A = this chain, B = another copy of it.
């Protein structure tokens, strides 16, 4: 009997494996598709590869600022894909080699929990095998959802996974349904690599997420428009059909759009429909019910990541995996805690956030004061030709402790961690202001943004 069976090798399963191997546990791994799961093969990592490429392509337009005279002869999504596949292949191979060197069995197939300690694996050839484990971790992730009768067919109507894993050529015209995170990220990438992009969003703004302020949404729309992306808000698809190898969509405002491909990015649902036959409890949306320790209704079966009802983010999955493994094998039990959870979005600009927004704090009845500073006057941002952006910090009015931070601009997804640490340690505006930051750095913008609260206003 194995100490632990891990079902799925996305960010949750991967982190569970890493932790378990370091604890010298005897584990088995089940993966139905490629090692690394969605995150590595068809979500976070390819998205950020293409996004890095897009940012590089955008930066080429500023070459003369550095005295460089260059000519862009061709931009080939196909070549970018080949190199993307190679980069991801390297990362996947590293994991595979590690598992081999640790003699960890990797079962290729679909795992189904058939007993408290038993998982049945259905392999690609239809054969079955049964393995047993003291503990089981369900980390099977999620699958894309569809909406309004629009069905992905892999050819005309594609999912984000199709775009990231399989798409060979960039379509001349692309219609993105859903102006959320994935829609805005992929819309930007496709546009930069040459597509004429339309984004259709049913709500009244891009990135309709409580933590994203209206100001940021509006600014994003402006920049997307400037890039030639057609953004249709308060709009949805009424009907669509494929005609002469093109998708014809009729929108709620009765306008018609023709596109070579439609990208459906309207959300994801937990991949739990056929996970067990022993009665593991799920909610009405299919999320596995877990307690604070990530334990299901079977005390030796845990779940983490997109299969449980917590933010659907790769780093939440890996955090939960670490917590779950600790709660299985270590003396001290740990409750999951999402109070300090930094996240970021990579679209026409980078957006990162941690903690509460001003509005969220007000809703909780907390009086706030805020600090603000634009990238415009940050010397490093000027040197990097990336002086669009800003930082907004939210503090408790009485204690001056930090409650939340938003960063919009270059490297937002990195420097947000400085404020995440400050939030974790309940630092005050003065503590953040008094810190010695390297000069010139983007991070010292937190010193600038705390001036108002820690010292006094300039005007």
Residues of A within 8 A of B (CB): 11, 18-19, 21-24, 39-40, 44-45, 48-49, 51-53, 56-57, 59-60, 63-81, 83, 87, 90-91, 94, 98, 193, 313-316, 318-319, 322, 338, 340-344, 352, 377, 379-380, 382-385, 411, 413-418, 420-422, 424-425, 427, 434-444, 451-452, 455-458
Contact = CB atoms under 8 A, between A and B. Distances in A.
Nearest to A382: B87
A226 to B, nearest CB: 21
Contacts of A315: 436-439, 444
Contacts of A76: 67-69
A18 B451 contact: yes
Contact of A456 (B23, B91, B94, B383): B23
A75 B341 CA distance: 43
B414 A435 contact: no
A70 B60 contact: yes
Contacts of A456: 22-24
Contacts of A65: 53, 80, 83
Contacts of A83: 64-67
**Residue of A66, A382, A415, A422 contacting most chain B CB atoms (<10 Å):** A66
A193 B66 CA distance: 10
B439 A313 contact: yes
Interface SS of A by simple majority? helix
A379 B438 CA distance: 26
Contacts of A23: 455-456
Contacts of A344: 438, 441
Contacts of A72: 68-70
Contact of A22 (B39, B420, B451): B451
B70 A70 contact: yes
A67 B82 CA distance: 9
Contacts of A441: 344, 413-414, 417
25 contacts: A11-B439, A23-B456, A48-B440, A53-B66, A53-B68, A56-B59, A56-B68, A64-B83, A65-B83, A67-B81, A67-B83, A68-B80, A70-B73, A87-B382, A94-B377, A316-B436, A343-B438, A411-B411, A411-B414, A413-B438, A413-B441, A414-B415, A417-B443, A421-B421, A421-B435
Nearest to A81: B67
